[in-house]
Amino acid sequence: MNTIVRQVEDGICLVIPKGRIDSVTAEDFRIGMEEALEISQNIHLDLQDTEYISSTGLRVILNAKKTLGNHGTITVTGANETIMEVMDMTGFTDMLDISGGTPDPAGVKVIFFDIDGTLLSHTQGIVPQSAKDAIHAAQKKGIKCVIATGRDLVEMAKLPVMDIGFDGYLTLNGNICLDQDKQMFAGNEIDPGEVEILVSIFKAGRIPFVLIGEKQRYINYVDDVVIQTQNATHGTIPDIGEYKGEKIYQCLAFVNAEVRQKLDDLLDQCSITSWNDTGIDIIAKTGGKAAGIQKFLDREGLRRSEVMAFGDGENDVAMIKFAGIGVSMGNGKDVLKQAADYVTTSVDEDGIQNALVHFGLIEKPE
């Protein structure tokens, strides 16, 4: 057999075994899982190309679970009916977050929403009333609705989203997790050693660079690129400031694709996603929206299969893949549409409402 292992967005390691996993082939699978554990504590085991798994293969998963303990996750998707029966008979369905190949909208208990291009229309500068109505209708049915955004509370307060009334807020791409009262219950800071390099970039002043802590954010300088990028996304420009040693949860840089690639090559402990042609987020490799969602699920006692998520951009890909049902807006990037379970209409064409009606989570408005 052949086991593919690769790092994906938001600190998740994807493992894809192909064929049968039994006493003859399990060694390759074991090596792949051990490689994945060296990369990340969050493993996504995709069994869509796996025909069958025997007790030898199950022991590999069990050993990986013991290695992680309470410090990581193993999620399983794409399991065929036979494998699901095996997983259920052995109790693995209770031990792991496992879902088959078909999304089950009836089990959705929480929905995560990106802001820009998903809730917020950049063409109109508003959250469509249809989206607000759909969220409130879902909440009336007992479904929690949570923000999952690259923005922080300071920026969110200046957008027409805070009056909707969400059940939680995953800010800074899931690296600061807040409850419905906006109190922090979990966070994921960038490695202090890597922060030293990020602060060096900030102080060198060669590129516009933003450092973001729990309650403050500041930029090293402002130029036309910063102004144009923020205007295009209804963003605000941070005050110019100095680093004073606080924990850093995210950085922003206003750069072109060439400089982004240089930063990608330089930063070993960070991952980078784009939210604009000249705007990027820099976060810890162990963080991101998917990791933030897992922290929310742990807090609420929910499972990945009970999650629906909406997004439109590159920094939503891991979240969409992580969710039991991932929805791309019609105005979303092609890479996100390819990863999604369903592509709805655009934010300006009632995309959120249409998707929730499609999956039977709310009634179609009269």
Please tell me whether residues 237 and 263 are part of one structural domain: yes
Do 84 and 15 have their domain in common? yes
Q: Give 134's contacts (C-beta < 8 A, 6+ positions apart).
A: 352, 353, 356, 357, 362
Q: Work out the mean pLDDT of the chain and round it to a whole number.
A: 90
- Name 32's Cβ contacts closer than 8 Å, sequence gap at least 6: 3, 4, 5, 15, 17
Q: What is the tally of structural domains in the chain?
A: 3
CB atoms under 10 Å from CB of 172, counted, come to 29
Q: Which one is predicted more confidently, 127 or 80?
A: 127
Task: Please give the residue range of the domain that contains residue 262.
Answer: 192-284
Query: How confident is the model at residue 157, as a pLDDT?
Result: 87
User: Is residue 254 within 8 Å of 226, Cβ to Cβ?
Assistant: yes
In a domain, 365, yes or no: no
CA 136, 137, 138, 144 torsion-angle sign: positive
The domain that holds 275 is classified in CATH as: 3.30.1240.10
Residue length of the chain = 366
Rounded CA separation 277/280 (Å): 8
How many of the other CB atoms lie within 10 Å of CB of 313?
Answer: 22
pLDDT at 99: 63
Tell me, yes or no, whether 139 and 280 share the same domain.
no
Question: Among candidates 234, 233, 213, 329, which has minimal Cα distance to 276?
Answer: 233
Please indicate, yes or no, whether residues 122 and 161 belong to a single structural domain of this protein: yes
Structural domain includes residue 222: yes
Q: In a 10 Å sphere around its CB, with 0-12 CB exposed, 13-18 middle and 19+ buried, how is residue 109 labelled? A: middle
- Same domain for 92 and 41: yes
Is residue 181 included in any domain, yes or no?
yes
pLDDT digits (tens, 9 = 90+) for 330-364: 999 998 898 888 999 999 999 999 999 999 999 98
147 pLDDT exceeds 70? yes
Give residue 344's identity as a one-letter amino acid code: T
Residues 6 and 88 in one domain: yes
316 and 204 assigned to the same domain: no
pLDDT, position 101: 55
CB 262 within 8 A of CB 254: no
Instruction: Please tell me whether residues 162 and 295 are part of one structural domain.
Output: yes
Separation between Cα atoms, residue 309 and residue 316, nearest integer Å: 9
Of 181-190, 246-255, 298-307, the least confident = 298-307
Of 40, 73, 100, which residue sits at a domain end?
Answer: 100
234 Rama sector, left if φ>0, alpha if ψ -120 to 50, beta otherwise? left
Say if residues 312 and 118 touch (Cβ distance below 8 Å): yes
Residue that terminates a domain, selected from 284, 318, 347: 284
On whether both 180 and 301 belong to a single domain, the answer is: yes
Of 162, 69, 108, 150, the C-alpha closest to 318 is 150
Sign of CA dihedral 237, 242, 246, 252: positive
| Residue where a domain stops, chosen among 60, 76, 100 | 100
Q: Cα–Cα distance between 223 and 238 in angstroms, integer?
A: 12
Give the position of tokens 């750069």. Answer: 255
Residue 82 is assigned to a structural domain of this protein: yes
CATH code assigned at 348: 3.40.50.1000
Residue with more model confidence, 103 or 284: 284
CA dist 320 and 112 (Å) reads 10
pLDDT band at 1 (very low <50, low <70, confident <90, very high): low
Beta bridge partners of residue 4, listed in sequence order: 16
pLDDT at 5: 82
The answer to whether residue 364 is domain-embedded is no
Average pLDDT over residues 283-300: 89
Distances from the Cα of 190 to the Cαs of 148, 175, 211, 286, in angstroms?
18, 9, 11, 9
- Would you state the structure tokens that stand for residue 297, as one six-digit string? 């699920």
Question: How far is 224 from 107, CA to CA, in rounded Å?
Answer: 47
292 shares a domain with 280: no
Does residue 363 sit within a domain? no
| SS3 category, 175 | coil
The answer to whether the beta carbons of residues 332 and 117 sit under 8 Å apart is: yes
Distance CA 352, CA 366 (A): 16
Query: Model confidence over 59-109: pLDDT tens digits?
Result: 999 999 999 887 788 888 888 878 888 887 888 877 887 765 556 677 899
CATH number of domain containing 83: 3.30.750.24
Tell me: do 67 and 202 sit in the same domain: no
Segment among 38-42, 160-164, 259-263 with least mean pLDDT: 38-42
Q: Is 27 inside any structural domain?
A: yes
Residues 10 and 152 grouped into a single domain = no
